[in-house]
Structure 1
Amino acid sequence: MSLPEQTPEQEENRKKKWEMPDTYVILFAVLLIAVLATYNVPSGTFERESMDGVERVIPDTYSRVGGNPAGFMDIFLALQEGMVQSGGLIFLVLFAGGAFEVIERSGAIKGGILRAVHKTKGKEFWLIAIVSILFALGGAVGAVANSVIPFVAIGVIIARALKLDAMVAVAITFGATFAGFNVGFLNPYTIGIAQSIADLPLFSGMILRIIAFVIIVGVTILYTWNYAKKVLNDPAKSLIGVLGESNVSSQDLKAPFTTRHKWIMGFVGSALLFFIFATIRFQWSINHMAAFFIIIGIVSGMIAGMNYNKIALTFLDGCQKLVYGALIIGVARAILIVMENSNILDTAVHALSVPLEGLSPVMAALGMFLANGMMNFLVPSGSGQAMIAMPILSPLADMIGVTRQVAVQAYQFGDGFTNSIFPTSGPLMASLAVAGVPWIKWAKWMFPLLLIWAGIAIVMLTVGVLINWGPI
């Protein structure tokens, strides 16, 4: 007897029985695993010493100590304490989101991008290059990351006008943004948080990161242009089909870029440069940067002609958009609180150091890079991964003879690269949905570029180890 056919609704429900757990669900599961580990993993600690105001692990001093297994209430107390201890970082993320929301609502970003499109009309390579550089800079300073999603629609308009495909649209917006995000030499969400945990001066090591930024973004532009040129010469070589022109209007590629917009972009650029100076000259910290973003938001809103209510509400809208990403920091911190309180965090560091002890510092640094890349499948949040990885990588770096600056960059490369291809990355999947690009097609296009990025990362991390890359 044949089984009755399922209705479309039943088939849809069957497909929805399993879905990828949310990042918060994954982190809570990791928290429960950490709690269970407090009953099974031996407790131990390393001796530490203070060098130049930074507490460092003394190698070969690990010893067993009494344990302190976590109870039921400790799970939820750790969540609360994680939020409290991470308050400075959480508010940095929220205030940065508020400031960038004011800048975006002013129309300065969109106007600047479309002005670049207008200026490079008929020069396809320069158009792709300039738009990519603008988005890469946005990713490098944290102005554009998750917020790149609505800008993908602009990329589609540009690609359609050039008679290209949606693959190029995603590449020059999302792809370029994360090419810059990979290095993030002035990104408060990644470098800022990671260096704060590693007790490194804020945004230190910038020169080498800027060099890596130029190389990675340059390679990304050339890779994108090579594909675009093939499609321009033969549309049949497009992986997904060239976009039609039926929905393009002359207004699609027009947006005002007024004197106010120029003042806003000039002010924001000058403000960020001043902050770099202040971190060096006055040793400004994460808290200073969070406060500085409030100033950037208020002044940008005033230049844009917003009244006080509009500035406040727009700033709060930006904060609200980043609540999801900001609170992940506290949840990730809760995992470490459980491990620290039960004295198993140093045990984990010791266990990781044992297989790395026989490796050269270069190979150990590359192992950190690979481990962070794999971790990003489960924890695709850059700030959340920093909170989990850096408290382990910092003492581990001390143990295996790798500088903490190298450890920070190993984390950042591992996080940034895989954001561009792992289907657990929310911004990636949303950007592909906006452009109508299947993930399989994107992965096929992106994978060779990912390998090139990885090669650049290997060279940079190797150089970092060989030059003993420190705070400067």
Structure 2
Amino acid sequence: MTKKQKINRKWEMPDTYVILFIVLLMAVAATYFVPAGTFEREVVDGVEKVMPDTFSYVDKNPAGFMDIFLALQSGMVQSASIIFLVLFAGGAFEVIERSGAINGGILRAVNITKGKEFWLIAVISTLFALGGAIGAIANSVIPFVAIGIIIAKALRLDAIIAVAITFGATFAGFNAAFLNPYTVGIAQSIAGVPLFSGMALRIITFSIIVLVTIMYTWRYAKRIMEDPSKSIVGILEGGVGQENQLTVEFTTRHKLIIAFTGLALAFFIFATIQYQWTIDHMAAFFIVIGVISGIIAGMNYNKIAVTFLEGCQKLVYGALIIGVARGILVIMENAQILDTAVHALSVPLENLSPVFVAIGMFMVNGVINFLVPSGSGQAMIVMPILTPLSDMTGITRQVAVQAFQFGDGFTNSILPTSGPLMASLAVAGVSWVKWAKWMLPLFLIWCVIAIIILTIAVLIGWGPI
């Protein structure tokens, strides 16, 4: 390699797997100098909880060379239920998306609200937010930004609006998701909280955050309509004739698929309450949703199978992150330093009020998301720490789950390490600097809302656990 070639080589941000492996090696190193210790635990209402003031040191058990790789294998095995939940959900949503139901529903809403700019922005944003809230659309929002561009052109708005009503709205819903298996489902499962419990407050939070996001987006859109020079990036040209690109048939099959999926997810919520369905039931139920949606769409058995597997394949990268993240905890658990870390974190928090503990959890998770942008992977790393920490600091595990969710979600919309954000901006041709200028005030508003919600949740002892 020549000297010139060496100079031209650019530094790259390490892949998430590389970062997690480095963290794994740090955990291995920690087993040699961090004292081993353990808390006593008791079972309360069927849930194992940490008993405060019972921490004691034990003999060290440092990790060896082969333990590094055994931890990765054990992490995959221990996380199998969650990994297959992610894969099967990806398969089901791929069948639904490939049927054209999502695309047709969105463009149908565009045509219905034509000429009513506010309602158009509100309806499209709400649809994408709901997609983010139930896990149907997250990273897969990227190709939909192209639809946002068509809508923005038709309204003679700019590319920031295109990103805001697609990517921005999706992650506004993702931030306050109430039925997302990748974040809420995994975090509650690890915390020992009934699956999708606490739904009422989550739906209220979702409604507030999405409404604020819509009003913020509309305020900017209205300003451009009144004075195009107010656009941060300049309005999109070529609005005339865009109506033809927004014409799409929303068939009876599409309507049936959307209706069936909605009813199926509603039934699952009922089943978790009535029949105590678990995360394993949800993974299996996604197979049912995928197969029946494919049948309604008119796919033959081979097409359903191939499409479902292609959806699984798209999420292999994200799914296996869960196992790698779990491997870090395997190292810490086997060496008995996980409880030592929890004890060390709990000491400075002992004199803080539970409200400030919850807010601190939220902020710390926001920082962690810079390094581990995978929501499910981050849940696997932090929830085993936040769960006992919440037991010892006087906040419910439900609050800890919400603090994790806010911390994981908000920063996805502004950090340049967020892959979906950078890809969406690339599709729209918007620089990250200009997006950050537009997004920062909304991000800060979200943070204020999160702090208020967490404060209320702590004060009311938000349960059930």
The normalised TM-score by structure 2 is: 0.98
Match of 1:3 in 2: none
The letter of the residue matching 1:80 is Q
The letter of the residue matching 1:222 is M
Match of 2:262 in 1: 269
- Contact 1:103–1:300 (Cα < 8 Å) also in 2: yes
One of 10, 14, 23 as aligned partner of 1:21 = 14
Separation (CA, whole Å) in 2 of partners of 1:410 and 1:299: 36
Any idea what the Cα deviations from partners look like across 1:184-209, whole Å, max 9, x if unmatched? Answer: 10000000000000001000000000
Match of 1:182 in 2: 175
The letter of the residue matching 2:445 is I
One of 95, 115, 121 as aligned partner of 1:122 = 115
Matches within 5 A, 1:197-346: 197-245=190-238, 249-346=242-339
Separation (CA, whole Å) in 1 of partners of 2:280 and 2:122: 35
One of 103, 107, 114 as aligned partner of 1:110 = 103
Question: Residues 321 and 248 (structure 1 numbering): CA distance in 2 closer, same or farther, change over 3 Å?
Answer: farther
Any idea what the Cα deviations from partners look like across 1:81-103, whole Å, max 9, x if unmatched? Answer: 10000000000000000000000
Separation (CA, whole Å) in 1 of partners of 2:432 and 2:10: 21
Separation (CA, whole Å) in 1 of partners of 2:9 and 2:157: 35
Matches within 5 A, 1:421-432: 421-432=414-425
Match of 1:355 in 2: 348
- Contact 2:42–2:48 (Cα < 8 Å) also in 1: yes
Match of 1:380 in 2: 373
Asked if 1:411 is matched to 2:411, the reply is no
The letter of the residue matching 1:463 is I
Match of 1:171 in 2: 164
Match of 1:458 in 2: 451
Any idea what the Cα deviations from partners look like across 1:329-363, whole Å, max 9, x if unmatched? Answer: 00000000000000000000001001111100000
Any idea what the Cα deviations from partners look like across 1:246-284, whole Å, max 9, x if unmatched? Answer: 795443111210000000000000000000000000000
Separation (CA, whole Å) in 1 of partners of 2:128 and 2:117: 17
Match of 2:463 in 1: 470
Any idea what the Cα deviations from partners look like across 1:116-144, whole Å, max 9, x if unmatched? Answer: 00011111000000000000000000000
Match of 1:366 in 2: 359
- Contact 2:416–2:422 (Cα < 8 Å) also in 1: yes
SS at match of 1:251: helix
The letter of the residue matching 1:400 is T
Identity %: 75
Asked if 1:393 is matched to 2:399, the reply is no
Question: Residues 315 and 10 (structure 1 numbering): CA distance in 2 closer, same or farther, change over 3 Å?
Answer: farther
The letter of the residue matching 2:140 is S
The letter of the residue matching 1:446 is M
The letter of the residue matching 1:136 is A
Asked if 1:49 is matched to 2:29, the reply is no
Any idea what the Cα deviations from partners look like across 1:263-306, whole Å, max 9, x if unmatched? Answer: 00000000000000000000000000000000000000000000
How many pairs were matched up?
A: 464
- Contact 2:185–2:279 (Cα < 8 Å) also in 1: yes
The letter of the residue matching 2:411 is T
Deviates more, 1:192-201 or 1:248-257: 248-257
The letter of the residue matching 1:185 is F
- Contact 1:159–1:243 (Cα < 8 Å) also in 2: yes
The letter of the residue matching 1:394 is T
Asked if 1:85 is matched to 2:56, the reply is no
Separation (CA, whole Å) in 2 of partners of 1:222 and 1:162: 17
Match of 1:149 in 2: 142
Shift of 1:183: 1.2
SS at match of 2:48: strand
Separation (CA, whole Å) in 2 of partners of 1:129 and 1:221: 6
Asked if 1:64 is matched to 2:57, the reply is yes
Question: Residues 246 and 128 (structure 1 numbering): CA distance in 2 closer, same or farther, change over 3 Å?
Answer: closer
The letter of the residue matching 2:334 is N
Match of 1:4 in 2: none
- Contact 2:188–2:195 (Cα < 8 Å) also in 1: yes
- Contact 2:110–2:246 (Cα < 8 Å) also in 1: yes
Match of 1:161 in 2: 154
- Contact 2:153–2:242 (Cα < 8 Å) also in 1: no
SS at match of 2:245: coil
Unaligned runs of 5+ in 2: none
Q: Could you say what the CA RMSD is over the residues aligned between the two structures, in angstroms?
A: 1.4
Separation (CA, whole Å) in 2 of partners of 1:206 and 1:162: 36
The letter of the residue matching 2:152 is A
Separation (CA, whole Å) in 1 of partners of 2:241 and 2:149: 10
Match of 2:24 in 1: 31
Shift of 1:15: 5.2
Separation (CA, whole Å) in 1 of partners of 2:241 and 2:327: 50
Separation (CA, whole Å) in 2 of partners of 1:462 and 1:106: 43
